[in-house]
């Protein structure tokens, strides 16, 4: 069987979809469900609820990473809610790790280009040190950190090849319009893309 090695830039191009929602947004269908384009070809539709905390949604993206390579000092950009802010969400990443259970990749969160490494929690019961380890982190935008983007970064000096079973799962529960964008709808904030 022939296997094609995909680079991070190729995968980033495939995964470049935007997920947005608001009460008056045209991507809300007639049943008041949000429809998000998913890189895996699967879509989870969530009910929309407006509250003082923003728009309550439930969007989930699961991306298998097997046979991908993240080049040295490179990254894969997975999720972007611009011009909306992620108020509440969660990321779980099953990624290569050392014998000491330290991750070989960083999960970056923030508002591009200001992304920082997330403080990952190690899940020992679902990990195999020296191969793949499961980490997770809750997402919550604060006054000090706005979260619109999620990426996986290789900050090392050598390429990292992702083993069978490698994956990232991103769940978003609540979003709100970024005050920096006001009521504008320009840019890529109101687009969706279907990935074949």
pLDDT in tens, 79-126: 999 999 999 999 999 999 999 999 999 999 999 999 999 999 999 999
Give a yes or no: residue 168 inside a domain: yes
Spans of the chain, pLDDT less than 50: 1-47, 183-196
pLDDT score of 32: 34
Q: Whole-structure pTM over 0.85, yes or no?
A: no
Give a yes or no: residue 141 inside a domain: yes
- Expressed as residue numbers, the domain containing 42 is 6-180
CB neighbourhood size of 78 (10 A): 24
Contact 106, 152 (CB under 8 A): yes
Give the Å distances, CA to CA, from 49 to 41, 104, 116, 193: 25, 38, 30, 23
pLDDT score of 16: 35
Give a yes or no: residue 94 inside a domain: yes
Give a yes or no: residue 175 inside a domain: yes
Q: How far apart are CA 66 and CA 40, in angstroms?
A: 13
CA torsion sign, 101 to 106 to 110 to 116? positive
State the chain's mean pLDDT as an integer: 75
Give a yes or no: residue 85 inside a domain: yes
Give a yes or no: residue 189 inside a domain: no
The answer for 24, left when phi > 0, alpha when psi is -120 to 50, beta otherwise, is: alpha
pLDDT score of 4: 39
**How do beta strands 167-177 and 54-64 pair?**
antiparallel
CA torsion sign, 171 to 30 to 185 to 187? positive
How many domains is the chain partitioned into structurally? 1
Give a yes or no: residue 92 inside a domain: yes
Give a yes or no: residue 195 inside a domain: no
pLDDT score of 134: 98
């Amino acid at each position: 069987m022939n296997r094609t090695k995909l680079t991070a830039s190729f995968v980033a191009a495939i995964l470049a979809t935007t997920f947005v929602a608001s009460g008056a947004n045209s991507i809300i269908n007639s049943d008041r469900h949000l429809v998000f384009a998913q890189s895996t070809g699967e879509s989870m539709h969530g009910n929309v609820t407006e509250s003082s905390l923003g728009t309550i949604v439930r969007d989930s993206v699961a991306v298998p990473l097997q046979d991908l390579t993240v080049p040295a000092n490179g990254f894969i950009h997975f999720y972007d809610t611009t011009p909306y802010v992620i108020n509440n969400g969660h990321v779980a990443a099953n990624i290569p790790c050392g014998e000491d259970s330290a991750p070989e990749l960083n999960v970056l969160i923030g508002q591009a280009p200001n992304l920082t490494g997330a403080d990952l929690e190690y899940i020992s019961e679902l990990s195999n040190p020296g191969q793949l380890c499961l980490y997770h982190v809750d997402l919550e935008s604060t006054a000090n950190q706005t979260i619109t983007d999620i990426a996986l970064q290789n900050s090392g000096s050598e390429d990292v090849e992702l083993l069978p079973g490698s994956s990232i799962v991103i769940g978003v529960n609540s979003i709100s319009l970024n005050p920096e964008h006001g009521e504008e709808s320009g840019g890529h904030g109101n687009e969706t893309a279907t990935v074949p």
